Amino acid sequence: MSFFIFTPIAGAHENQMIIINKKTNQLGFYQDGILQKVFPVATGRQRSFTPEGKFTIINKIINPPYYKKNIPGGSPHNPLGPRWLGLSAPGGPFGIHGNNNPGSIGTYASNGCIRLHNKDILWLYEQVPIGTPVIILWNDTDLNSGFVDNKPIKVYLNHEAVTLGSDLRTFSRQGKPYIPLKLLCQLIGYHLAWNIQTGTIELNRSGFTASLTSNTKKALLNGQQVNLTDPPLVINGITYVTESTMEEIFSVDVTWQPDSRGLYLSVETTPVTAAEQCEAKPEQSHDSLQGENRQPDTNK
């Protein structure tokens, strides 16, 4: 199953992102590249009604009026609900808004806009500034699969507890533990570098080379292409790997105890010194988009 973990876009809105999957009628809100909430939504009665692509929030309106039927903002009969987040999509105006028909949420019901329950749009409205990126797509992905468990993981190397710095985040996703690739390389004695020309992460040690590409299963191991079980993930410019990659690329024996959040690594190596440590810095993967202000009307 595919999933989404996004590197934030640079700018004033860099910490937030919205993903809307029309096929599953879900809206995901991301903070710092991590999925925070998933809301049910209503989208267009036909697939073509709700535009697909990369857009931005271009305006925010409290109690938007519904001009088509001259219904004032704040009226319980207003089909736009209590809040409006306007989108930069062409052919609109299109927006993310509340509704006066909660039974429509989760269905294909609108003229093109994205409807939320009123309590959900009230919450979302407070989280996102103008300029927030919005991606609208159509596929089979359940956005709930992107949730991660941020409870810290206790890492052990050859049965010795590893002290993690405050800048080294660990988490689990779909029951799998993830730790920074930089940390793993430091622990087991691999050199790590970012190849800006190829956009790959280069790993080497005596008699060993590997090349990884973030969010991609294809890798090179001693010059031979291999397919990883789980791709490296990039969150906020940091690359993370899970147990399958540790075993397939680094030949580390891994034991994961989810109940105690213990990750046990067994290797035959000597950790590198601080002077030998390198850090990979994957480039940002999304470009910000700009739009012009528009007013909501009939596209509900």
Per-residue pLDDT at 6 exceeds 70: no
Report which DSSP code applies to 154: E
Instruction: Answer yes or no: are the C-beta atoms of 86 and 61 closer than 8 Å.
Output: yes
Sequence-distant (6+) residues with CB within 8 A of 127 are 16, 29, 31
Per-residue pLDDT at 10 exceeds 80: no
The helix (H) or strand (E) run that includes residue 123 is: helix 118-127
Which band of pLDDT confidence, cut at 50, 70 and 90, is reported for residue 34? Answer: confident
Per-residue pLDDT at 63 exceeds 70: yes
| Residue 227 C-alpha from the chain's centroid | 23
Instruction: Answer yes or no: are the C-beta atoms of 91 and 297 closer than 8 Å.
Output: no
Which one, of 167, 202, 203, lies nearest residue 188 by Cα?
203
pLDDT on residue 272 = 44
* Gyration radius (Cα) of the chain, Å: 23
pLDDT on residue 50 = 96
User: Domains, the chain, ranges and CATH?
Assistant: 16-146 (2.40.440.10), 148-269 (3.30.457.10)
**Which region among 58-67, 77-86, 208-217, 271-280 has the lowest average model confidence (pLDDT)?**
271-280
**Which region among 16-25, 202-211, 275-284 has the lowest average model confidence (pLDDT)?**
275-284
pLDDT on residue 126 = 96
Per-residue pLDDT at 19 exceeds 60: yes
Sequence-distant (6+) residues with CB within 8 A of 6 are 17, 19, 30, 33, 285, 286
The pLDDT tens digits of the residues spanning 207-251 come to: 899 999 987 899 999 999 999 999 998 877 789 999 999 999 998
Torsion sign over Cα 143, 144, 149, 155: negative
pLDDT on residue 86 = 96
| SS3 call for 107 | coil
pLDDT on residue 169 = 85
Look-up: residue for tokens 């991606």?
A: 135
Mean pLDDT (whole number) for 55-84: 94
The helix (H) or strand (E) run that includes residue 247 is: helix 243-250
In this structure, how many other beta carbons lie within 10 angstroms of the beta carbon of residue 146? 21
User: What value, to the nearest 5°, has the Cα angle with vertex 100 and ends 18 and 41?
Assistant: 30
Separation in Å, CA 137 to CA 51, 53, 54, 298:
8, 6, 9, 22
Per-residue pLDDT at 4 exceeds 80: no
pLDDT on residue 1 = 31
The pLDDT tens digits of the residues spanning 143-200 come to: 887 788 888 899 999 999 998 887 788 999 888 999 999 999 999 999 999 988 888 9
Per-residue pLDDT at 98 exceeds 90: yes
Q: To the nearest whole number, what is the mean pLDDT of the chain?
A: 84
Which band of pLDDT confidence, cut at 50, 70 and 90, is reported for residue 269? Answer: low
Name which residue leads in pLDDT, 177 or 286. 177
Per-residue pLDDT at 282 exceeds 60: no
pLDDT on residue 83 = 96
Which band of pLDDT confidence, cut at 50, 70 and 90, is reported for residue 77? Answer: very high
Which band of pLDDT confidence, cut at 50, 70 and 90, is reported for residue 14? Answer: low
Residues labelled catalytic: 97, 113
Report which DSSP code applies to 260: T
* Structure-block tokens of residue 234: 């990039």
